[in-house]
Structure 1
C-alpha cells in the first residue's frame, strides 16, 4: 500500500526541494503553494498538518512546486498578490507589484491634503493597474487615467479594475507614454514606475525577474534613464502649477533627473529613499 502523506509531510519535503533549487524563504513558499492547492488561507494550513492527502490533491501540489522550483515567481503561480488595500490578479502580462511601489502610492497620497477633492491623476506605465487602482480606491472623487504601451498589460489592468469594483473610476489609454495621450487639461499628479534597470542590472537579476517578467517593463536604454527622461519632459507641460510628478527610479538616477527637472523649469526637486534606505524615488513640483 502506498505511503499516505500528510500536509506537514508535503510542506517539509517541498520546502527542502525548493531550498535545493535556490528559492529564498523556501518553507514560506511551500506553505503558500500547498495552501493554494487546497484552496485555503496559508494560516489555516497549520490546523491541518496531520490531514492525509488524496492523490488528486498531491498532483496539484506537485505541479505548483515544480513551477516554483523552475524559479517562476510565486505570485504568478498563485495568480494574485495583495497591493495596498487591494488584491490584484497578476500574470506574465505585467510586472508583479512590489512593496516599494506601495510606498510610491503612499508618497503620492501624501501630496494631497484632502481625500474628497476631484484631483486629476495620470499613472504612466500602469502594468497591472496597481498604482492607478490604489489611488482610485483611496481618493473617491479623483479622475484617474492609466496609460500603458502594452495592450496585454492594459487588459490585465482592466480585469483588475473590474475585480476591485473600480471599473468606472479609471480611464485606460493605450499609449507609449504621452505619444497617444490626448486628454485635455492639466493634472494635479503624474506618477510612474517605469522601466529603469540597466543592462548590467538585468543581467544580474534573479531568474524570477529576468526569465519571467516582461523585459519591456524592466529595462531602459541610456543606463536606465531613457523612459524616465521622456516622462519628466512630457509631464512638465501637462502638470498644473503646483502639480506633482512622482517617479520610482534606479539607484543612480536621482542627480541626472534632478538636473533635467531644473533645466526644464520645475519649481523644486527632491529625492526620497525607500524603506530600506535605497535612493528610489524622485518628486518634482511644477
Structure 2
C-alpha cells in the first residue's frame, strides 16, 4: 500500500512528464478532490496509507488531467472575483485577466454614479458561466443585470451558478446572438449604464498554438472570431450605442493587436471617447468607451 505523500509524488512526476503546468499543485488538488479533502487536510494525512477503493477514485481524475483536460473542469468549480463558480465544458473557464476587466468596469460605473448618473441597468454580452453578470450583481445590488449568450448550454450553466449564489432574482438570462434578442429600449429608463463583454477575439491560428487545455477542451465558439479575431468585437461596438444610456460605459476584453482598429470603431460608432487599458503585463488588453 502507498501513502498519500507517495501517491502525490508519483502523480507529480507523471503530470510533469505530460507537460502539466505546476504539477505538484495539480497533483495535490486532484488527489484532494478525489478523496474529498482540502489541501491542508491532505497535508495532515501524508503518512496515511490509501486503500484500493481510494486509489480507484484517484486514477480516473489523474488520467483526465494527464490528457490535459483543464483542472477546473475536473474539479468542477473555480474561484473568480470572490465567487465560487461551477465550471464544465459548456462554457469557457473564467480567466484571472478578466478580473481586471471587472475592476475597470466597476470603477467606471461607480465613477458615473458619483457624477450623478447611477448605473441601474447592466448588460453582460456572452455570459458563459455567468461570471461577469453575477459578479456585477454582487457589486451593484440595486441594479438590474441582464446576461445573454448564444449557447443554450452556457445559459444553463450560468443559471445553475445564479441559483447556487442566490442571484436568480437579480439576473435575467436571455438567449441572444449579441444584441439580436435584447429588447430595444422604449425610453431612457430601459437603457444600460454599463455593458461588459469578454467575447471571442482569437484567430484559428492562435487557438491552434494554445495549450491543449484550451484548444482541445474549451468551446471553440467562445474563443475564435472571424476577421483576425475582431468580428464580434466590431459588432458589439457598432450595436452598443443604441442600447446605452447617455454617459454609459462599454467595457471590452480584446486581443492585444486589435486596439487601433477598435478605438477607431468606437469613434465611428459615435462614442464620445474611448481608450485602451493594459493588462498586468503592460499589453493593451481592454477597451473602454463612453457614450
TM-score (norm 2): 0.95
Residue aligning to 2:152: 151
Give how far 1:183 is off.
5.2
Separation in 2, partners of 1:54, 1:279: 51
Is 1:239 equivalent to 2:244 in the alignment?
yes
Give how far 1:38 is off.
1.2
Is 1:277 equivalent to 2:282 in the alignment?
yes
Give how far 1:253 is off.
1.1
One of 64, 69, 73 as aligned partner of 2:70? 73
Cα deviation digits, residues 138-172 of structure 1 (max 9, x gap): 11111100000000000000000001111111000
Is 1:59 equivalent to 2:56 in the alignment?
yes
Give how far 1:180 is off.
1.2
Residue aligning to 1:126: 127
Separation in 1, partners of 2:91, 2:124: 15
Contact 2:122 2:145 in 1 (8 A): yes
Separation in 1, partners of 2:232, 2:7: 45
Q: 1:90–1:183: structure 2 CA closer, same or farther, 3 Å change rule?
A: farther
Is 1:248 equivalent to 2:258 in the alignment?
no
Q: Secondary structure at the match of 1:65?
A: helix
Q: CA RMSD in A?
A: 1.2
Separation in 2, partners of 1:222, 1:7: 50
Is 1:38 equivalent to 2:35 in the alignment?
yes
Cα deviation digits, residues 50-75 of structure 1 (max 9, x gap): 11111111111111110000000000
Unaligned stretches of 5+ residues in structure 1: none
TM-score (norm 1): 0.96
Is 1:268 equivalent to 2:273 in the alignment?
yes
The more displaced of 257-266 and 179-188 is: 179-188
